[in-house]
Structure 1
């Protein structure tokens, strides 16, 4: 229904602070992991790096996208995501866990409805809901670098 209205922003051409980066190419400081903990093992693939970046930001760490760093990542090899006829339950379970853990049950429900209404329109709903939330600013400590950032990353989360 809303799928044709999604407009993903272009990837940045210069070093840019972002909310999260793909876990396929990320460097993290050990001191950050000591402070906030490692990946949440409740996630079975998908959203675990988003959750970790969110926890780091709440603790005052920054996340940066560096386009000059080159990494080759062959996406969807582990899961065959590009060939999915139907999104598997574990993807929805990870997504729901992320939204409930980091936002609320209502936010998770709104994100699900947006997904069902238009595929990637979830980004639009997340952006709208994120703009209504106040997140404290982060410090100058840099924690992760990535050559791969999701083109639909929302900078207000």
Structure 2
């Protein structure tokens, strides 16, 4: 994982940083979000983001980059992004619960009511909710449509 503040870090270090961030203001309310976006080049560059938002007081985020064989079908790409987010959210949820941190996790999907992916939203949202996570789409899916999007360029 990478962090603009902490540089390249391990998954375990990310968990420690999240714990420290929450311990600094335990009375605050937090949103934990996971989002993925991808961009095609000669391959598909995929960016996965874990964002911790302290409501009313900023936040921190971490990201990882994976390059995979080029995915040209827009539906397949959205399902791949969602699957990637679900994988990290599941691992993160299990780890944070062991640490006594249970705010719930929202998956942020880079799809909105306008555009080619709009018809897939009910299926994607249903899949995410069936896996036990909350779901946000555009314009509320900042982890995918803003943060991850920035690092796919």
TM over 0.5: no
> Smaller-chain TM-score range?
under 0.3
Give the TM-score, by structure 2 length. Answer: 0.27
Give the TM-score, by structure 1 length. Answer: 0.27
Structure with the bigger percentage of strand: 2
